[in-house]
Structure 1
């Protein structure tokens, strides 16, 4: 059995707050400003954890709702121009069921 020293991604996932706290603790220790009681403990994040933290921050800046798209669809509905393909909806529902995702 081969043992890989690179951890898989889920093992390195940390929350944004955890990553920020760990980075702050590391900076405080490097600068000699570690709070009393930390006793010289250090935290070193893996490259994957740091990338995940940066990606998480980037995702936080993206809005959940694209308001320009919502407004465009509202205008189409109001004008009676918004059409949905029943076939496309049915196909997506079937694909969701096949994947085990509740509709």
Structure 2
């Protein structure tokens, strides 16, 4: 589709001579402007509900501070242990999904 700055001819123009006359008179711009109304947007109840949920999600922190602090405590106390098997399984699952590790 090519977009240019040429005016749109109204449906009432049937021939080239009528089009030339309309362009000369400036009728094209007036008739095109007359057909345009004000744009409006109306949201459904679902859209409004989604907007409220999105706002609520924005307020939830990305980091679970309590969990991070507990893990830090466990590491500092030497109590944090990770199963090598669990790590290997997660790595394999990640590679199967095609995600680089």
TM band (smaller chain): 0.5 to 0.7
TM-score where L is the length of structure 1: 0.54
Greater C-alpha radius of gyration: 2
**Cα distance 1:101–1:49, how it changes in 2: closer, same or farther (>3 A)?**
farther
| Structure 2 equivalent of residue 45 of structure 1 | 43
Which residue in 1 is equivalent to 2:65?
A: 67
- 1:51 and 1:95, CA in 2 relative to 1: closer, same or farther beyond 3 A? farther
Runs of 4+ in 1 over 6 A off after TM superposition: none
Distance 2:78 2:62 in 1: 26
Q: Please name the residue that 1:101 is paired with.
A: 99
- Aligned counterparts, 1:16-31, within 5 A: none
TM-score by length of 2: 0.55
Once the two structures are superposed, what CA deviation does each residue of 1:3-62 show, in whole Å capped at 9, x if it has no partner?
A: xxxxxxxxxxxxxxxxxxxxxxxxxxxxxxxxxxxx753211244433332222121111
Q: Which runs of 5+ in 2 are unaligned?
A: 1-36
What CA RMSD, in Å, does the superposition of the two structures yield over aligned residues? 1.9
Greater RCO (Cα-Cα under 8 Å, separation 6 or more) = 1
**Distance in structure 2 (CA, Å) of the matches to 1:84 and 1:62:** 28
Q: For 1:48-86, what per-residue CA distance to the aligned partner results, in whole angstroms no more than 9, with x for missing partners? A: 433332222121111010111111001100000000111
Q: Distance in 2 between matches of 1:54 and 1:97?
A: 37
